[in-house]
Amino acid sequence: MNLNTVSIFNLSPPEKLQLLEDLWDDLAASPSDVPVYEWQKEELARRKTNLMNNPTSGLSWDDVKRKTRSLYGR
């Protein structure tokens, strides 16, 4: 191992967040290259079926934000 190599684990929290943002932007630039596995497709189909059969089982985006903010104080 080269001791001069920068480790992502030595980055500051803001640098780590910037790295994550850069990686996400890079992946988002070519979404067709990001694999979607069969189990993920099956889970999405299951959730969609559940929502179609039980339309009131989901939460609105406003409800999700309100609940999250009440739990985490933001």
Domain spans, the chain: 13-73
pLDDT at 1 > cutoff 60: no
pLDDT value for 73: 82
pLDDT at 74 > cutoff 90: no
Cβ 44 vs Cβ 50: under 8 Å? no
The more confidently predicted of residues 74 and 69 is 69
For the chain, what is the radius of gyration of the CA atoms? 19
What would the mean pLDDT of 20-34 be, rounded to a whole number?
A: 96
Spatial separation of the C-alpha atoms in residues 32 and 13, rounded to whole Å? 30
Number of neighbours of residue 16 by Cβ within 10 angstroms: 13
pLDDT at 5 > cutoff 80: no
DSSP secondary structure code for residue 7 in this structure = P
Q: What percent of the chain has pLDDT over 90?
A: 81
42 falls in which pLDDT band (50, 70, 90)?
A: very high
